[in-house]
Chain A
Amino acid sequence: MQGGRRSRAFWPLAAFFALFVAFLYGPTVTIVVLSFQGPEGGLTFPMRGFSTRWFANLFETQMVGDFGGSFLRSLMLGAIVTVVTVVVSFMAGLAFRRRFPGSTALFYLAVASLIVPSVLISLGIGLMFRLIGVDPAWWSSGLGAHLTWTLPFGLLIMFAVFNRFSPAYEEAARDLGATLWQTIRHVVVPILLPSLIGVGLFGFTLSYDEFARSLYTAGTFNTLPLEIYGMTTNVTTPVLYALGTVTTAVSFVVIGLAIGGVVLLQRRRGGG
């Protein structure tokens, strides 16, 4: 296998992989193209001209509900979720390096949080707020619901990261007289920064796109996925695709920033 010799299975497998990638991206590419549909155009091909009117439509509130507001709420919620996810997962990752009372239970609780169907968590939090007589809102119940989804991911990533992290760095720092806080601030965090960016990426994108967990927890004001879902039932113009294009573009920008940041960090490190 070494030395560039390819096995007979290589090309069929490569072809399968290419088909899989086409399957993953094909539909998204299609709606991006169709979102530039001309004013007369419909939800399918052919393209009848080319225009950006569907994007303009998006920002006229009366046309498609509250796009701007829901977009803003989703961005803010995503940002809060990102910060909380990174900080809490990092702390928990540090904690899980040793056994502590309840560590096994907490681990299984986190895994359960990943496996319990989203709609159940949404329903449960919605009912809980109803019973205690508090109105759900995106920044309270919504935030909590999203965290039950992002924190387990963050924790699992931190597990993988700390498994490969040598305690020698911390011991060295301590031997040189650093306090616990200084060790974390000047040694552990800088070394783990790329992974923390990864955790943040998960936190933001999972929250920004979350539908089921927002359903009964977002309260009076919709987050973006709820808004989009509402549109699918009553909008039959390419505005829907324009919205899809904008949302996906935001995701790509965030992913690009995160990956770019990691690559940059690694390059700087490689350069010494």
Chain B
Amino acid sequence: MRGRVAALALASPLALILLAFLLVPIGTIVVVSFFDYDSVRMFPAFVWTNYEELLLSPITWKTYLLTLWFAAVTWAICLAIGFIVAYFLAFHVHSALMQTVLFLICTIPFWTSNVIRMISWIPFLGRNGILNSALLSMGAIDQPLEFLLFSDFAVVLAYVHLYALFMVVPIFNSMVRIDRSLVEAARDAGASEWQVLRNVIIPLARPGIAIGSILVVAVVMGDFVTVRLMSGGQSASVGLMMVNAMSLLQYPAAAANAVVLLVVVLLMIAAMLRVVDIRKEL
């Protein structure tokens, strides 16, 4: 009994912070999404107009589709890269020290600024950037490619650059926990390297793949910074739609959009969670 009280006391700061800065704010968004507003302020009310305007506008649907498309493409590329990198680290690097060092090398960029990492693509992708100059001098193109910077291509590239790590870490974490004797057994039974990968490693790495997928999808679905910076204002995302509504002081409209986005993201994650029980994976 005393232990339970102590545990409650120890957990209470976390609970209070999450209550005050996660639950109550989300509650606020839900409440405000029913408020009415004019061009200068919002007033308490209970109207559905914010949702009606949002859901009846074709722009909303187009933006949601575009965001889903960004999420899908980024997810597929991150999965491919993350899996290969994690597989290399977990099964082909044998010294524990080397493994730690290489893993840290992959992790360090995660601890630096995202905005700076986006900016750092400018000298590469710009009209007079490294890539265009290189292609020009090789004679592969005779005019600078315009689509490199400020395009959907640049947006996806930046997403992969920023978030591939979200895939590497959980998959690596699942893979290092795979019992090596299972791999040995499969080999002894005559499985080729490919068969080991398909029938032993991939099924056992599934929880890591699921967690990585959840992280990547969640972060891309809610993004607006990358889309705005990397597309140069030429593309859109749901997050950007919200931020634009906010800057026009249309708080209830932004709030309604936020509620819809939250529902969409939670549904996607619920679907992915059917594959894995996170609590068991820690």
Least CB distance, A206 to chain B, in whole angstroms: 8
Instruction: Tell me whether B79 is interfacial, beta carbon within 8 Å.
Output: no
Given that A24-B161, A44-B126, A247-B113 are contacting pairs, would A115 and B108 also be in contact in the complex, using a CB cutoff of 8 Å?
Answer: no
Least CB distance, A122 to chain B, in whole angstroms: 9
Inter-chain contact B128/A44, CB cutoff 8 Å = yes
Inter-chain contact A228/B21, CB cutoff 8 Å = no
Within 8 A of B (CB), among A207-223: 208-209, 211-212, 215-216
Inter-chain contact B22/A102, CB cutoff 8 Å = no
A98 to B8, CA, bound (A): 10
A88 to B9, CA, bound (A): 11
Least CB distance, A138 to chain B, in whole angstroms: 14
Inter-chain contact B119/A151, CB cutoff 8 Å = no
Inter-chain contact A91/B88, CB cutoff 8 Å = no
Instruction: Tell me whether A176 is interfacial, beta carbon within 8 Å.
Output: no
Chain A residues, CB < 8 A from B155: none
A25 to B109, CA, bound (A): 8
Inter-chain contact B120/A102, CB cutoff 8 Å = no
Inter-chain contact A252/B4, CB cutoff 8 Å = no
Instruction: Tell me whether B251 is interfacial, beta carbon within 8 Å.
Output: yes
Chain A residues, CB < 8 A from B7: 94-98, 100, 103
For the residues of B in contact with A, the DSSP-based class is helix
A100 to B14, CA, bound (A): 14
Least CB distance, B184 to chain A, in whole angstroms: 8
Interface size on A, as a range, is 35 or more
Instruction: Tell me whether B151 is interfacial, beta carbon within 8 Å.
Output: no
Inter-chain contact A103/B11, CB cutoff 8 Å = yes
A201 to B105, CA, bound (A): 15
Given that A131-B28, A151-B17 are contacting pairs, would A28 and B120 also be in contact in the complex, using a CB cutoff of 8 Å?
Answer: yes
Q: 1/0 per residue B9-44: CB within 8 Å of A?
A: 111011101101111111011001000000000000
Chain A residues, CB < 8 A from B161: 23-24, 27
Given that A88-B14, A121-B21 are contacting pairs, would A27 and B193 also be in contact in the complex, using a CB cutoff of 8 Å?
Answer: no
Instruction: Tell me whether A117 is interfacial, beta carbon within 8 Å.
Output: yes
A94 to B164, CA, bound (A): 32
Instruction: Tell me whether A21 is interfacial, beta carbon within 8 Å.
Output: yes
A144 to B118, CA, bound (A): 26
Q: 1/0 per residue B231-243: CB within 8 Å of A?
A: 0000000010011
Inter-chain contact B11/A115, CB cutoff 8 Å = no
- Chain B residues within 8 Å of chain A by Cβ, number: 84
Instruction: Tell me whether A120 is interfacial, beta carbon within 8 Å.
Output: yes
Inter-chain contact A121/B25, CB cutoff 8 Å = yes
Chain B residues, CB < 8 A from A92: 10-11, 13-14
Inter-chain contact B22/A112, CB cutoff 8 Å = yes
Given that A144-B20, A252-B112 are contacting pairs, would A91 and B14 also be in contact in the complex, using a CB cutoff of 8 Å?
Answer: yes
Residue among A88, A123, A216 with max Cβ neighbours from chain B (10 Å): A123
* CB < 8 Å neighbour of A14 from B91, B92, B251, B262: B92
Instruction: Tell me whether A169 is interfacial, beta carbon within 8 Å.
Output: no
Residue among B10, B105, B112, B265 with max Cβ neighbours from chain A (10 Å): B112
Given that A100-B7, A251-B112 are contacting pairs, would A119 and B21 also be in contact in the complex, using a CB cutoff of 8 Å?
Answer: no
Inter-chain contact A107/B279, CB cutoff 8 Å = yes
* CB < 8 Å neighbour of A120 from B88, B106, B193, B222: B222
Given that A95-B11, A118-B222 are contacting pairs, would A209 and B123 also be in contact in the complex, using a CB cutoff of 8 Å?
Answer: no
Chain B residues, CB < 8 A from A137: none
Least CB distance, B250 to chain A, in whole angstroms: 12
Chain B residues, CB < 8 A from A248: 112-113, 116
Pairs A–B under 8 Å by Cβ, sample size 20: A7-B193, A25-B109, A27-B120, A43-B123, A88-B13, A92-B11, A115-B214, A117-B219, A117-B221, A117-B265, A119-B243, A123-B242, A123-B254, A144-B21, A148-B21, A209-B115, A212-B223, A225-B113, A228-B116, A244-B120
